[in-house]
Structures are given as C-alpha cells and as structure tokens.
Amino acid sequence: MTSGHPGWNWYGGRRREAVGDRIVLAYNSDFDRRMIVGHARSVGAAPGRLRSAQAWQCLMRRRSVWLNTTTRLRLGGKHRAFGDALAARGLLRTLRDRPPHTLLAAQPDRKPPG
C-alpha cells in the first residue's frame, strides 16, 4: 500500500459499486484475476466474486479470435494502469467492427446491387 492512499478495503467497497454483477474485461484476465485475488488475500480482504474465472473475460483472447490467430499480441499500453486502460478501451471499440479477414475484397468488374 502506498502511504497516504486508502487501503484495499476502501477500494473494495468502491469496486463492488462499480463492478456489481458485471463481467470484468481485462487484457490478460488470468493474470489480472490472480493479482486481484492475491492482493486481496494479502491484506486480509475478501476478493468476492472476482475470485471466479466466470467474472472475467479476456480481451487478449477475444482479439486473437477476432484476428484469426493464436498469437498473443501485446496491448501497447506500456504496462502503466492508465495507458493500459486506454489501450484496452480502444481495442474493445475496435472489436465492435467486423474482423478485416471477413470483409469482402472490392470487385471492380461487378456493378453494385440496386
């Protein structure tokens, strides 16, 4: 814990308000879940539903499926909390669109319908 900042129990209550029963999205959800659960236990706090893998979804896996690859790509947020959060939000917005490999290539010899 950093001196002068609230402890886990203060954040735990705020986390419950913010997360509730929603699914938590994380770029490497296995790692983040282990860190959250481990830290909670180390300070004598209960991680609650965040202990369960069903409470999480992994954006890294979703990105790999979206790109039709098995490669684990870096997020690009420089491993700082704010940068990672912004990069993950940008990725989530990208994942709303159709993957590039599913888009039809332009066919100049065909007339558009209509």
In the chain, domain spans:
11-95
User: Could you give the CA distance from residue 32 to residue 50 in angstroms, rounded to a whole number?
Assistant: 10
pLDDT of residue 58: 95
Instruction: Using alpha carbons, select from 85, 59, 56, 55 the residue that is nearest to residue 72.
Output: 59
DSSP letter, residue 102 = G
Least confident of 17-21, 52-56, 66-70, 86-90: 17-21
C-alpha dist (Å) from residue 37 to 9, 25, 68, 105: 13, 15, 31, 46
pLDDT for residue 19 is more than 90: no
* pLDDT digits 0-9 by tens, 39-64: 888 888 888 888 999 999 999 999 99
Give all strands (DSSP E) within 1-114, no chain letters. Answer: 24-26, 56-58
In the predicted model, what is the mean pLDDT of the chain? 82
Compute the average pLDDT of residues 5-19.
Answer: 68
